[in-house]
Amino acid sequence: MPRLANAVRKFFAPQTFLHSNDDKLEQLENYKHDVRDVAHDFLIVALAGKLCQVDGKVNPQEIEGFYSAFPDIQVHQKVDSLLIEAGMESVSYEHYARRIMAFFPENRRMHSRIVEALCNLAVADGPLNGKEISFLLRVADVFGCGRDVCQGFFERHILPTSGSPYSVLGVSKSVSYEDLRSRYCNMVRDYHPDQLALLSAAPEIIALVNRRIALLSEAFSVIKQERRLRKAVAL
């Protein structure tokens, strides 16, 4: 990370919150406005980086999605490397969410806006998947802003809007059967409702996920049948 980011991370490392001393508390008081602004921006980038990599590597669509979701963040010139580095760190995304809460414990409106922005970032590279849903629900829990912040968004984005079986699975018509099957299995695993049940997700969300799995299975079945018929006609 750039020098400024390293300084922020060092000053606000996890142990700082657990073992603060008088010097650091005085320093925080003297520079709290500047530090809070810088820390806010970098903590947001770190949390977003964790979201981007919860289901794979950061891609250009997610970097562009970050610009749209968080237009006020002042580290855009380094956002690609920051998102990648944040996602690779061993610190959990819950840690970054808790640090945001530590800085801004009473700003409920900010917490809700961050969750809404993360929701928009999650769909920058395609439909929501199970890992992203779990991430967003957990962040909403840490912020204490209520999962209803996510509910309407989930209803719009868990289910595909196109009826094409290939678009439902997110593959091209030229995809090999091996890649098609791998994609299908991975998506079903990612959307498995047991993951959400462990987070005590609302029945409405679990119902949406179950419907999504049913649509994935139907799309996979349709493509397989189409290819069998094509082979039969060719013979």
Is 208's pLDDT higher than 60?
A: yes
Residues 110, 123: Cα–Cα separation, whole Å: 21
Closest CA to 150 of 104, 92, 209: 209
Is 76's pLDDT higher than 60?
A: no
Residues 233, 235: Cα–Cα separation, whole Å: 5
Q: Which residue has the higher pLDDT, 93 or 3?
A: 93
Name the pLDDT band for 198 (thresholds 50, 70, 90): low
The predicted-structure confidence for 80-121, as pLDDT tens digits, reads as follows 787 888 777 778 899 999 989 988 888 888 898 999 999 999
Is 48's pLDDT higher than 70?
A: yes
Q: What average pLDDT does range 157-185 have in this prediction?
A: 84
* Topology at the third CATH level for domain 164-235: Helix Hairpins (1.10.287)
Residues 10, 18: Cα–Cα separation, whole Å: 14
Domain assignments of the chain as residue spans, ordered by start: 164-235
For residue 65, which amino acid is it?
G
Quote the pLDDT of residue 3.
42
**How is residue 70 annotated by DSSP?**
-
Quote the pLDDT of residue 220.
92
Quote the pLDDT of residue 4.
39
Structure tokens at 67: 């610009």
Residues whose CB is less than 8 angstroms from the CB of residue 33 and which lie 6 or more positions away in sequence, other chains included: none
Name the pLDDT band for 7 (thresholds 50, 70, 90): very low
Residues 139, 115: Cα–Cα separation, whole Å: 7
Is the CB of residue 27 less than 8 Å from the CB of residue 39? no
pTM: 0.68
Is 1's pLDDT higher than 50?
A: no
